[in-house]
Amino acid sequence: MLQIHNINTFYGKAQALYDLSLSVEASEIVALVGSNGAGKTTLLKTLSGLLRPASGRVVFLEKRIDGRPSYAVVEAGISHIPEGRRLFPDMSVRENLEMGAYLQRAWKQKGESLEEIYRLLPVLKAREGQLAGTLSGGEQQMVALGRGLMSKPRLCMIDEPSSGLAPVMVDEIFHIIEGLRDQGIAIFLVEQNVRHTLEIADRAYVIENGRIILAGKSEQLLSEELIRKAYLGL
């Protein structure tokens, strides 16, 4: 579904990604794990059109999308759910969700999509008139997930969904992400919570200093000595 070939991305003269390649297949969760500053968010920004790669190719559903503007990437079927939620705090839950349906094809199905979101995340139905800024961190993350789904994506890129959440809420958010995969939506998950991420992902890549240093099935990576020492403290 998504193929990334030898991407190089810069911030000014500083290179952030080096010949980075990976893939995401349909109906699977692929994780990208690594420490702060490794290049995880930079890759998502490159894929979603917020940053332009200096070289390399990004192919989604057999069409090149590298260098295209963000709205065109969304139209192609990719949703980027950013780190920190980025909600509109003085707008209601429903208004925040509707902001995700600005594409013409999505706007026509707005009502149907809202009902689907409310079935998946029933707490949002109960909170639909509440200001997003007054929600708990976990509820705000649910709004961010719901808003990302309103564009009817084929692939969701989710950046650090567990950040700042209590462990019980992390479990719930990861369960929701698994449910999205089971509904046929491909997930590209960026996370620092390595153990929990590898427990739900089908495959994973490890990034350090802008380079992929390990890749494989998640259960294999959980037994890798580098992962156990560097990320699991074992």
Condensed to tens digits (0 to 9), the pLDDT of residues 74-86 reads 999 999 998 888 8
Q: 142 lies in which domain range?
A: 84-147
Residue 185 and residue 212 in one domain: yes
Residue 163 and residue 220 in one domain: yes
Residue 58 and residue 72 in one domain: yes
Q: What is the pLDDT of residues 2-54, one digit of tens each?
A: 999 999 999 999 999 999 999 999 999 999 998 888 899 999 999 999 999 99
Strand order in the sheet with 2-11: 14-24, 2-11, 55-60, 63-64
pTM value is 0.91
Residue 25 and residue 140 in one domain: no
Q: What is the pLDDT of residues 125-181, one digit of tens each?
A: 999 999 999 999 989 999 999 999 999 999 999 999 988 888 888 899 999 999 999
Instruction: Tell me which of 110, 132, 147 is where a domain ends.
Output: 147
Residue 130 and residue 162 in one domain: no
Residue 25 and residue 11 in one domain: yes
Residue 178 and residue 70 in one domain: yes
Is 232's pLDDT higher than 70? no
Look at the chain and report how many structural domains it folds into: 2
Q: Rounded distance, CA 231 to CA 234, Å?
A: 8
Look up the CATH number of the domain holding residue 70: 3.40.50.300
Q: Rounded distance, CA 182 to CA 177, Å?
A: 9
